[in-house]
Amino acid sequence: MALANGDDRGRQILQQTAGAVLFGVPTRGIETQALLMMMSKVAADSFERVGERVARARRRLLVLEKENRQLSTEVERLTALLERIG
Domain residue extents for the chain: 1-30, 31-86
How many residues are given for the chain?
Answer: 86
pLDDT on residue 21: 52
pLDDT on residue 32: 72
pLDDT tops 50 at residue 1: no
pLDDT tops 90 at residue 18: no
Q: What is the pTM of this model?
A: 0.48
Please compute the mean of the pLDDT values over residues 22-49 and round it to a whole number: 73
